[in-house]
Amino acid sequence: MTDLTDSSPNVGRGAFSESRRFRAMAVELGVYESESHLRARCAQRIGISEDDILGLRIARRAVDARRRGRTHDLRFVFHVDLDLSPDAACGKELARALKSGRAREVEPTMLFEVPEVDGVRRDRRIVVVGAGPAGLYAAWTLATNGVAVDLIDRGPALRDRGRAVVRFTRTRELDPENNILFGEGGAGTYSDGKLYTRTQHALEAPILQTLIDAGADSEIAFDARAHIGTDRLHRILPRLRARLEEMGVRFHFGTRLEGLVRSEASTVSALRTSAGEIPCDGVILAVGHSARDTLRSLSEEGLILEAKPFQIGLRIEHPQALIDEGRFGPGADLERLGHAYYSLVAKSTRETSAVHSFCMCPGGQIVAAVAQHGMLCTNGMSNSRHSSPYANSGLVVSVGPGDFGEGVFAGVEFQERIEARFFDAGGGDYTVPAQRVRDFLKGRESSVLLRSSYKLGLAAIRIDELLPPRMTAALRGGLRKFDKKIPGYAGEEGQLVGIESRSSGPLRIPRDRQTRLAAGFANLWPVGEGAGFAGGIMSAAIDGARSAWALLGHHESK
Ligand SMILES: Cc1cc2nc3c(=O)[nH]c(=O)nc-3n(C[C@H](O)[C@H](O)[C@H](O)COP(=O)(O)OP(=O)(O)OC[C@H]3O[C@@H](n4cnc5c(N)ncnc54)[C@H](O)[C@@H]3O)c2cc1C
């Protein structure tokens, strides 16, 4: 049995017995209480004796920063997995705790391995297109199960990618094949590396474990705000690639998918790429949602795509100290708590649409996340220590056919129009249009802009006039509401830049629920954000791995 409450790195495969496992929910500890008190708190929460807890490990740790009345009564809230004695596992106390929600039964952790893959499925040569999280974890799952995989990406390996990103920041010359969006690790390589997801799929733990094995902090396994940071991701990704290569995956960087060669209408027999034809028995398409050219040309070749609603908005930046104080109260111990995050939602009203914050980066930096000439799009990244003095976040509003019209690519064209408008307004050199929040609310240009983490310069522009009026109205409504939750949010120290147009994708590639095959294809599996089935690093990785399972004939029960 394992008792790991006295040390944080407590996650590992096989740490638990195969018997039923239970999770004590919402167990609280004061900010300065030691985790060694968890055993007693869990016993208390469930109503059993401490001696009946044979092993425990933290499944989730979060900071509860909700205000109680006027004060910030901060505490840590844990979910803790327990190995219980047979008596306790069958006892009335546990049954009562399960009924009331103080405990729940935990699904066994899944592994990448599929039992009994048949030889025909295993002996296929599969090409994975895209080295983002979806493609990498599809490749990982296939290789783990003995499938030969070639992984192609239009961008370069990380070393060359890093150089290109530095060059872009210095010269403002964009390489459309080598940038913040394209290359090893995909769009998540220059990010906050946030790893939390709402999917709660059982593959989450083994995916996190691969990252820990490659050098990520072991706390990502249970931290409710797990993140890696761009600096660490740059050390972890080459190790992941080395592991994949050991497992037999062959990487081909600088190789762009340009079209499909079919042996029959429904069967892809080779890929046309910028490096020549690559024969294959199956394709995992994991190109991300910035591969607009690829998705357009595949659509012309008969791949069915459909438009879907997506989100668009601005980035907002504040001093991180304002967010820390707003969330935790004055004088909070940031060494112990870490910098504050936020996740804000303003529901729709009769007059305005809903607004929510997205991809908040504490101690982060705003970057130009672009791969096409003549367009501007912002996003946020941060380093592992969240060390910049700025907090930034997306503030987004949903858009649908009512905003961009009918037609499969109408949403993409809407994105492109608005990205070009912001690019031109900034002067056409990646200077970003900016407006202080108070001026955005009042509808006037900012006479003085605030300092910002964005390195390519800011221009005072009426962003409120660059956006469609419905979005400006919604964002104004949202900002006023958010100011009540974090005092000063819509005040003197807040500044908006834009546009943030790629927080989610405008297209979906319809696929079969069970086989996960693209409509009309016998061997093409669309995955990840570009296919419209993910919205973040973890959800893309999980989607890639699950489609690899489907390719291997493993169908999940739900
Ligand atoms: C700056 C930034 C910060 C972000 N921060 C976070 C965060 O903190 N947490 C989070 O969860 N999400 C974050 N995201 C979103 C996250 O990165 C994406 O949701 C995720 O990367 C999607 O994964 P994917 O594998 O589906 O696609 P992508 O990561 O977009 O990968 C697609 C890959 O396919 C390649 N490709 C495209 N076309 C072709 C072609 N024709 N031939 C060959 N290869 C091709 C690309 O080069 C790319 O490497 C951030 C995104 C950005 C841009």
**For residue 256, which atom of ligand 1 is closest to its CA?**
42
**Does residue 87 share a domain with residue 171?**
no
Identify the sign of the CA torsion 54, 55, 60, 61: positive
Contact between residue 25 and residue 101 where contact means Cβ atoms under 8 Å apart: yes
Query: 21 vs 296, which has greater pLDDT?
Result: 296
Q: Taking 50 as the threshold, does the pLDDT of residue 9 lie above it?
A: no
- Residue 4: predicted pLDDT: 41
**Does residue 527 share a domain with residue 378?**
no
- Residue 485: predicted pLDDT: 93
Q: What is the pLDDT of residues 398-451, one digit of tens each?
A: 999 999 999 999 999 999 999 999 999 999 999 999 999 999 999 999 999 999
Q: Whose CA is nearest to atom 15 of ligand 1?
A: 536
**For residue 258, which atom of ligand 1 is closest to its CA?**
41
Q: Taking 80 as the threshold, does the pLDDT of residue 10 lie above it?
A: no
Q: What is the pLDDT of residues 498-509, one digit of tens each?
A: 999 998 999 999
DSSP code of residue 108: P
Tokens found for residue 304: 């069915």
- Sort strands 276-279 and 267-273 into parallel, antiparallel or unpaired: antiparallel
Q: What is the pLDDT of residues 236-257, one digit of tens each?
A: 999 999 999 999 999 999 999 9
* Residue given tokens 């990252």 in the structure block: 211
- Residue 1: predicted pLDDT: 35
Q: Taking 90 as the threshold, does the pLDDT of residue 40 lie above it?
A: yes
Strand ranges inside 208-266, DSSP E? 250-253, 257-264
Strand ranges inside 213-341, DSSP E? 250-253, 257-264, 267-273, 276-279, 282-285, 306-307, 310-319
Q: d(Cα 542, Cα 535) in Å, to the nearest integer? A: 11
The rounded mean pLDDT for the chain is 92
Cα dihedral angle (343, 347, 352, 358), rounded to 10 degrees? 20
- Residue 34: predicted pLDDT: 92
**Does residue 352 share a domain with residue 204?**
no
Q: What is the pLDDT of residues 351-370, one digit of tens each?
A: 889 999 999 999 999 999 99
- Residue 17: predicted pLDDT: 43
How far, in Å, is the centroid of ligand 1 from the Cα of 356? 21
**Does residue 384 share a domain with residue 342?**
yes
**Does residue 176 share a domain with residue 96?**
no
**Does residue 369 share a domain with residue 272?**
no
Return the minimum-mean-pLDDT range out of 4-13, 14-23, 301-310.
4-13
Pocket perturbation via mutation, ligand 1, pick of 184, 529, 538, 547 by most ligand atoms within 8 A of CB:
529
If one counts the domains in the chain, the total is 3
- Residue 336 belongs to what domain range? 310-500
Ligand 1, CB within 6 Å, residue ranges: 129-135, 152-155, 180-183, 186-188, 190-194, 256-257, 286-288, 290-291, 294, 359, 367, 369, 379-381, 528-530, 534-538, 540
CB-based burial, 241-269: b 16+ in 10 Å, e otherwise? beebeebebebebbbbbbebebeeeeebe
Categorize the per-residue pLDDT at 19 as very low, low, confident or very high, splitting at 50, 70 and 90. Answer: low
Q: d(Cα 370, Cα 172) in Å, to the nearest integer? A: 11
Q: Whose CA is nearest to atom 12 of ligand 1?
A: 536
Q: Whose CA is nearest to atom 2 of ligand 1?
A: 191
Q: d(Cα 384, Cα 225) in Å, to the nearest integer? A: 12
Return the minimum-mean-pLDDT range out of 51-65, 111-125, 317-331.
111-125
Q: Residue 150 is part of a domain; what is its CATH number? A: 3.50.50.60
How far, in Å, is the centroid of ligand 1 from the Cα of 134? 8
Q: Whose CA is nearest to atom 6 of ligand 1?
A: 191
Q: What is the pLDDT of residues 172-214, one digit of tens each?
A: 999 999 999 999 999 989 988 788 766 678 888 899 999 999 9
Give the 3-state secondary structure of residue 359: strand
Look at residue 180 and tell me if it is in a domain.
yes
When pLDDT is averaged across residues 85-89 and rounded to a whole number, the result is 91
**Does residue 523 share a domain with residue 410?**
no
Contact between residue 404 and residue 413 where contact means Cβ atoms under 8 Å apart: yes
Contact between residue 65 and residue 224 where contact means Cβ atoms under 8 Å apart: no
**Does residue 123 share a domain with residue 102?**
no
Q: Taking 50 as the threshold, does the pLDDT of residue 13 lie above it?
A: no
Contact between residue 472 and residue 351 where contact means Cβ atoms under 8 Å apart: no
